[in-house]
């Protein structure tokens, strides 16, 4: 049984959500939601240095998009979102109100619930970030096995997907330079130390996941 993940889900996803298979939102539900977008619905002013490619791009009021950002459709971007210089949204993304996409961050086929943040040099592939999630600088949500096999959640749960990153519950925080391997599910409020490599599996809510390392201090020769 999976731990609690989301206190509330944004309206497009609530009726399609399966608590025993949350990653299924990244399949047909996301395709249907994005497929219903108008060809173009831009409610915020864009600088000429912002590059839009493809069809079905919606951007809400008050969203701030810096120069050098590339957005490929389909993409739904809510209100009061901040997208910083050099970010790359590769299509198939749903970015909730108040989210932050940081400088040189890449996002591919992902759902950001309101207030989720990937603010510094992150990769977010085929993943769901709950409300208020914060990824530390350099955190990577890896989404593909080298052998191309189906992603499993630990050994027990088959996802039915060849590409799947992480599903992070509301308020999850990662430290700098974490790597979450394909098929990680983390319950609400859990905090992950810097530098942790988290293997596929289910991690409970409200944990502190520590990296324990041993340092050896060797005097330099004179």
What is the token pair recorded at 191? Answer: 């905090």
> b/e map of 92-128 (b: 16 or more CB within 10 Å)?
bbbbbbbbbbbbebbbbbbbbbbbbbbbbbbbbbbbb
Within a domain: residue 108? yes
Per DSSP, what are the bridge partners of residue 71?
A: 52, 89
Diameter of the chain measured on Cα atoms: 70
Which residue out of 51, 120, 146, 181 is catalytically annotated? Answer: 120
Residue 80 within any structural domain of the chain: yes
Task: Flag whether 77 is in a domain.
Answer: yes
Per-position pLDDT tens, the chain of length 222: 899 999 999 888 999 999 999 999 999 999 999 999 988 899 999 999 999 999 999 999 999 999 999 999 999 999 999 999 999 999 899 999 999 999 999 999 999 999 999 999 999 999 999 999 999 999 999 999 999 999 999 988 999 999 999 999 999 999 999 999 999 999 999 999 999 999 999 999 999 999 998 999 999 986
Looking at residue 34, which CATH number applies to its domain?
2.160.10.10
Answer yes or no: is 171 within a domain.
yes
Domain presence at residue 20: yes
Structure tokens belonging to residue 176: 């700098």
Number of domains in the chain: 1
The yes-or-no answer on residue 120 being catalytic is yes
Q: Would you say residue 2 lies in a domain?
A: no
**Domain-embedded: residue 215:** no
In which domain, by residue range, is 74 found? 11-209
| Residue at 158 is within a domain | yes
């Amino acid at each position: 049984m999976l731990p609690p993940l989301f206190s509330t889900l944004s309206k497009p996803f609530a009726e399609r959500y399966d608590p025993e298979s949350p990653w299924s939102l990244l399949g047909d539900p996301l395709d249907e939601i994005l497929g219903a977008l108008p060809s173009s619905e831009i409610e915020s002013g864009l600088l000429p240095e912002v590059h839009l490619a493809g069809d079905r791009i919606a951007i809400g009021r008050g969203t701030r998009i810096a120069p050098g950002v590339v957005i490929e459709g389909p993409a739904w971007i809510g209100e009061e979102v901040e997208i910083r210089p050099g970010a790359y949204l590769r299509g198939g993304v749903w970015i909730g109100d108040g989210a932050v996409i940081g400088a040189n961050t890449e996002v591919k086929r992902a759902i950001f619930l309101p207030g989720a943040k990937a603010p510094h040099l992150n990769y977010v592939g085929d993943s769901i970030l709950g409300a208020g999630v914060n990824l530390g600088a350099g955190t990577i949500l890896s989404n593909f096995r080298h052998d191309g096999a189906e992603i499993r959640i630990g050994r027990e749960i088959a996802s039915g997907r060849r590409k799947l990153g992480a599903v992070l519950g509301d308020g999850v925080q990662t430290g700098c330079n974490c790597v979450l391997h394909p098929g990680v599910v983390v319950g609400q409020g859990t905090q992950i130390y810097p530098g942790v490599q988290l293997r596929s599996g289910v991690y409970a809510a409200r944990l502190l996941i520590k990296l324990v390392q041993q340092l050896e201090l060797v005097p330099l020769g004179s």
